[in-house]
């Protein structure tokens, strides 16, 4: 019975360990790095892991060997020979761990200095302000004069200076592929330098418990080629597209006082200047909704508008009690904002 239980336990542990692998490439992993600082953190991990593995195997082998070699045999009785102190051995087993820890500490300090320092005076660096909100991300590009939410675009191969702050409680920006994590703290600005090596979508999540929808505060970073990034910026700087039909009616609803969209949301170039919720100037062009928890489809937009609390319980957007038709028209308007 006992060995069966042990086998069951071992298999369960193996299965648990394999789970993150089964989730596939979409899962953010500290081993799948695409940035200089991510790579140096992963390298540090493997070095420390290697040192720890050598120690673990050495200690276990010695433990097992000594247990077998010096076990009590059947015909032996009484206490074994007692030994009191051995200066050379004691120096050795104090010195080796101290030296090992000193080496790990040194490597860690070097890595921390490397990933923490940004090219502060690099004229090529792009500055983006990241503001944490319960429970979404605001991104401001001061030099490009644009504001967006939940989908962070940056060009590959260029150092990006993220200036992190929070509007309410402490959040934490963590995209494992791009390196280390950093808190967003109310009343304080933290600096984080990131650089993406290859064009792709990198995911992450808020890494500091920040309330009910902490888990619904996902990160999505789109690393573009320089050309794609320039095209994205130009697209974000464009004004409202011409509208007709349902979308035009949706626009009327958006600016009506009953729906009250404008008291929380902004659409640049219009009278909508709310800052409580995400800036919606180009919401139709984003791949995801509700801080990256559902895909941005017209149906999902309608579902969200009809009752945001069903889609993301606890979020700050109230149920506007829209009719099905109004929700559909509003969704048509928002989806047209590409
Ligand atoms: Cu924001 Cu957790």
Residues whose beta carbon lies within 6 Å of some atom of ligand 1: 132, 135, 171, 206, 208-210, 214, 217
CA of 167 to the centre of ligand 1 (A): 12
CA of 213 to the centre of ligand 1 (A): 7
Whether pLDDT at 25 is above 60: no
Which numbered atom of ligand 1 lies nearest the CA of 135?
1
Whether pLDDT at 23 is above 70: no
Which numbered atom of ligand 1 lies nearest the CA of 217?
1
Query: Closest residue (by CA) to atom 1 of ligand 1?
Result: 171
Place of tokens 């006992």: 2
Question: CB burial class (10 A; 0-12, 13-18, 19+) of residue 145?
Answer: exposed
Q: How confident is the model at residue 15 (pLDDT cuts 50, 70, 90)?
A: confident
CA of 136 to the centre of ligand 1 (A): 8
Which numbered atom of ligand 1 lies nearest the CA of 211?
2
Average pLDDT of span 200-218 = 95
Q: Which residue has the higher pLDDT, 6 or 321?
A: 321
Amino acid 1: pLDDT:
66
Amino acid 258: pLDDT:
72
Q: How confident is the model at residue 18 (pLDDT cuts 50, 70, 90)?
A: low
Model confidence pLDDT, tens digit, residues 51-71: 999 999 999 999 999 999 988
Amino acid 24: pLDDT:
42
Which numbered atom of ligand 1 lies nearest the CA of 208?
2
CA of 133 to the centre of ligand 1 (A): 8
Query: Per mean pLDDT, which range of 33-37, 39-43, 118-122, 167-171 is the poorest?
Result: 118-122
Other beta carbons within 10 angstroms of residue 118's beta carbon come to: 18
Torsion region of 271: left, alpha or beta (phi above 0 gives left; psi -120 to 50 gives alpha): alpha
Q: Identify the CA nearest to 258 among candidates 210, 174, 152, 330.
A: 330
What gap in Å lies between CA 6 and CA 122, rounded to an integer? 58
What gap in Å lies between CA 183 and CA 171, rounded to an integer? 6
Which numbered atom of ligand 1 lies nearest the CA of 169?
1
Average pLDDT, the chain: 91
Query: Which of the residue ranges 20-34, 110-124, 303-317 has the most confident prediction, judged by mean pLDDT?
Result: 303-317
Q: Identify the CA nearest to 191 among candidates 163, 159, 154, 160.
A: 163
Question: CB burial class (10 A; 0-12, 13-18, 19+) of residue 95?
Answer: exposed
CA of 244 to the centre of ligand 1 (A): 39
Q: What pTM was estimated for this model as a whole?
A: 0.84
Model confidence pLDDT, tens digit, residues 109-145: 999 998 887 777 788 899 999 999 999 999 999 999 9
Model confidence pLDDT, tens digit, residues 212-261: 999 999 999 999 999 999 999 999 998 888 888 899 999 999 998 777 89
CA of 175 to the centre of ligand 1 (A): 13
Q: How confident is the model at residue 76 (pLDDT cuts 50, 70, 90)?
A: confident
Q: How confident is the model at residue 20 (pLDDT cuts 50, 70, 90)?
A: low
Tokens (6 digits) for 220: 């999505």
């Amino acid at each position: 019975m006992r060995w069966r239980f042990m086998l069951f336990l071992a298999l369960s542990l193996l299965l648990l360990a394999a789970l993150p692998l089964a989730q596939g490439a979409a899962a953010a992993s500290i081993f799948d790095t695409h940035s200089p600082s991510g790579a140096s953190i992963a390298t540090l991990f493997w070095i420390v892991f290697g040192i720890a593995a050598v120690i673990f195997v050495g200690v276990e082998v010695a433990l097992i060997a000594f247990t077998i070699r010096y076990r009590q045999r059947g015909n032996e009785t009484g206490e074994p020979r007692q030994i009191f102190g051995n200066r050379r051995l004691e120096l050795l087993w104090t010195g080796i761990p101290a030296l090992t820890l000193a080496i790990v500490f040194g490597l860690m300090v070097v890595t921390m200095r490397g990933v923490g320092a940004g090219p502060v005076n690099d004229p090529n660096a792009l500055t983006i302000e990241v503001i944490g909100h319960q429970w979404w991300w605001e991104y401001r590009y001061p030099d490009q004069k644009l504001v967006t939410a939940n989908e962070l675009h940056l060009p590959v191969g260029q150092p990006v200076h993220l200036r992190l702050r929070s509007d309410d409680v402490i959040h934490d920006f963590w995209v494992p592929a791009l390196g280390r994590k950093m808190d967003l703290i109310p009343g304080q600005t933290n600096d984080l330098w990131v650089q993406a090596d290859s064009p792709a979508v990198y995911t992450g999540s808020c890494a500091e418990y920040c309330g009910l929808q902490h888990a619904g505060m996902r990160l999505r970073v789109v690393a573009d080629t320089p050309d794609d990034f320039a095209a994205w910026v130009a697209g974000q700087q464009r004004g409202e597209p011409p509208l007709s039909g349902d979308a035009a009616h949706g626009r009327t609803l958006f600016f009506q006082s009953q729906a009250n969209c404008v008291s929380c949301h902004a659409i640049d170039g219009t009278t909508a200047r709310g800052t409580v919720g995400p800036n919606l100037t180009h919401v139709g062009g984003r791949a995801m909704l509700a801080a990256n928890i559902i895909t941005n489809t017209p149906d999902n937009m309608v579902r969200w508008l009809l009752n945001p609390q069903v889609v993301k319980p606890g979020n700050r957007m109230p149920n506007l009690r829209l009719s099905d038709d109004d929700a559909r028209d509003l969704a048509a308007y928002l989806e047209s904002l590409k």
